[in-house]
């Protein structure tokens, strides 16, 4: 439970700190290159869903905000039920990531229209807590997005169905930390679905090692992403210098290695011990009395390795 709550708190702090900085330092459409032409901080707002998807009109915005509140409540209730069950910790972490991302975006919708003045494309930067009030009513705020990764551009071949001859770009949508948190939570649920929702017992040492390597690598990539982001926000040089990028890469590698070492030291999650299921061995002259070893196994405390 503490681990999941710490993740929710961390995601919300990172998400809101970046959004507040972008909102009060960038005008709409302003961009800064962080690393080459493929990692760009690009300030935009949308009244809709994740990755810039929209549901138009004031009524559509209100409907979307109410839907988000209901969704956050449902996810929060499900997360609370997981806290009271002896499930694999990875499941609570995935749901916590999704919950944190949903809360991060609903904060924009509920409060940003009240606490910020409007931004525009002609150099006007928003003001925090303006004297004349915000740019919209409660539940009508717009979600702040800033991460733009135009990694690959090209043209579909003429024989390609429907889009033949048209230009394409990967990855076109602009997103934020909350969107990324939801996507990572869903991605991990898909990757580990058989483990999290199946009846798989105690994991083998080989599976544990593979899982720990994967999670440590993911942690390292996220650390690199955040280090580059914060350096790009506060640096006067755009894109960042090669030295700065190399330092960020080295730091993220150390963070990933540290996470791997930490995961390797965690006790193994064993569903048999969690459920109190033991194999009773009869003792001479007492066929119904379990052995000392079986009793100790039943009393063993639950363990909680991430995978």
Catalytic positions, please? 145, 179
Render 92-159 in DSSP notation, one character per residue: HHHHHHHHHHHHHHHHIIIIIHHHB----TTSPPP-BS-TT--SS-TT-PPEEEEEE---EEEE--TT
Phi then psi for residue 154, to 5 deg, are: -170, -170
Please give the distance of CA 34 from its chain centroid, rounded to a whole number. Answer: 21
Residue whose entry in the numeric block shows the structure tokens 């363990």: 303
Exposed e or buried b per residue across 139-166, where buried means at least 16 C-beta atoms within 10 angstroms of its C-beta: bbbbbbbbbbbeeeeeeeeeeeeeeeee
Token output for 210: 């593979």
CA 94 to chain centre: 8
Q: What angle do CA 232, 240, 249 make, to 5 degrees?
A: 90
Our measurement of the distance from residue 50's CA atom to the centroid of its chain's CA atoms, rounded to an integer in Å, reads 12
**Residues sharing a CB contact under 8 Å with residue 92, sequence separation 6 or more, in sequence order:** 1, 3, 4, 79, 82, 83
- Report d(CA 154, CA 164) in Å as an integer: 12
Euclidean distance between CA atoms 190 and 71, whole angstroms? 20
- 116 and 30 Cβ atoms separated by less than 8 Å: no
Chain Cα centroid distance, residue 240: 25
Hey, what are 140's tokens?
A: 């009508």
User: Which H or E element spans position 195?
Assistant: helix 193-197
Tell which phi-psi region holds residue 165, choosing left (phi > 0), alpha (psi between -120 and 50) or beta: left
């Amino acid at each position: 439970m503490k681990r999941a709550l710490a993740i929710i708190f961390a995601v919300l702090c990172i998400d809101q700190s970046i959004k507040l900085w972008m909102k009060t330092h960038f005008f709409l459409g302003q961009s800064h290159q962080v690393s080459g032409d493929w990692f760009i901080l690009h300030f935009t707002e949308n009244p809709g869903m994740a990755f810039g998807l929209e549901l138009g009109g004031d009524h559509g915005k209100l409907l979307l905000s109410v839907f988000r509140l209901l969704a956050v409540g449902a996810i929060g209730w499900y997360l609370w039920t997981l806290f009271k069950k002896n499930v694999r910790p990875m499941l609570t972490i995935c749901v916590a990531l999704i919950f944190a991302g949903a809360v991060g975006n609903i904060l924009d919708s509920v409060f940003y229209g009240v606490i910020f003045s409007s931004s525009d494309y002609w150099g006007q930067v928003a003001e925090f807590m303006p004297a004349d009030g915000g740019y919209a009513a409660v539940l009508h705020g717009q979600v702040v997005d800033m991460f733009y990764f135009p990694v690959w551009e090209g043209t579909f071949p003429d024989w390609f169905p429907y889009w033949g001859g048209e230009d394409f770009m990967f990855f076109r949508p602009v997103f934020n930390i909350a969107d990324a948190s939801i996507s990572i939570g869903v991605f991990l649920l898909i990757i580990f679905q058989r483990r999290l929702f199946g009846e798989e017992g105690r994991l083998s040492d080989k599976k544990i090692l593979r899982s720990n390597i994967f999670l440590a690598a993911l942690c390292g990539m996220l650390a690199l992403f955040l280090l580059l982001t914060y350096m790009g926000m506060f640096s006067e040089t755009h894109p960042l210098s090669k030295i700065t990028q190399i330092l960020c890469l080295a730091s993220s590698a150390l963070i990933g290695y540290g996470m791997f070492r930490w995961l390797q030291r965690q006790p193994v999650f064993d569903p048999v011990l969690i459920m109190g299921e033991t194999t009773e061995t009869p003792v001479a002259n007492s066929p119904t009395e379990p052995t000392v070893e079986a009793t100790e196994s039943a009393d063993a405390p639950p363990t909680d390795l991430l995978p």
